[in-house]
Amino acid sequence: MGADIGTSAGFCAHSANVWQIVGYVLLVFKIVIPILLIIWGMLDLGRAVVASKDDEIKKATKSLAYRAVAGVIIFFLPTIVGLVMGFISSFGEVEEDWDICRTCIVNPNGECSGYAEDVWNGNL
């Protein structure tokens, strides 16, 4: 395996199933966490409006804005990870290997499924 590092049969291809699981976890976080943050913010704002206290409404509005920004950042986290891994893969001889890692993390349902199946079946 040591001679394959940096090639399409290197470290990332051999550990594609792990990277695919990481990709699925990021995909779930990308969807669930922003929705939860916005729901909690809306609930806080609703409680403040029902209480009819200006200070609480201002505080809840500010909290909702922060949560919305955090939700947007979390939503774009896989894209940011893909860009960082794209920059890493452009350095020298590891390009093919890093492309497999990046593909599995950013798009676990795509081409990564083939690499993961090869690992599970012992073909790599």
41-57 pLDDT tens trace: 888 888 888 888 888 88
Reported as a pLDDT band with limits 50, 70 and 90, residue 89 is low
The predicted pLDDT at position 1 comes to 44
pTM of the shown model: 0.65
Q: 11 CB contacts (<8 Å, ≥6 apart)?
A: 1, 4, 5, 97
User: Which pLDDT does position 87 carry in this prediction?
Assistant: 76
Domain range summary for the chain, segments of one domain joined by +? 2-117
| Percent of all residues in the chain with a pLDDT value above 70, rounded to a whole number | 77
Q: How confident is the model at residue 2 (pLDDT cuts 50, 70, 90)?
A: very low
Q: Do residues 75 and 30 make contact, with C-beta atoms less than 8 angstroms apart? A: yes
Q: Which of 34, 87, 92 is nearest to 101 (CA)?
A: 87
| CA max distance for the chain | 68
Q: What is the predicted pLDDT for the residue at 34?
A: 83
Q: CA gyration radius for the chain?
A: 21
Pairwise CA distance, residues 124 & 13, whole Å: 8
Question: pLDDT at position 45, please?
Answer: 83
- Of 16-25, 64-73, 112-121, the poorest mean pLDDT is in 112-121
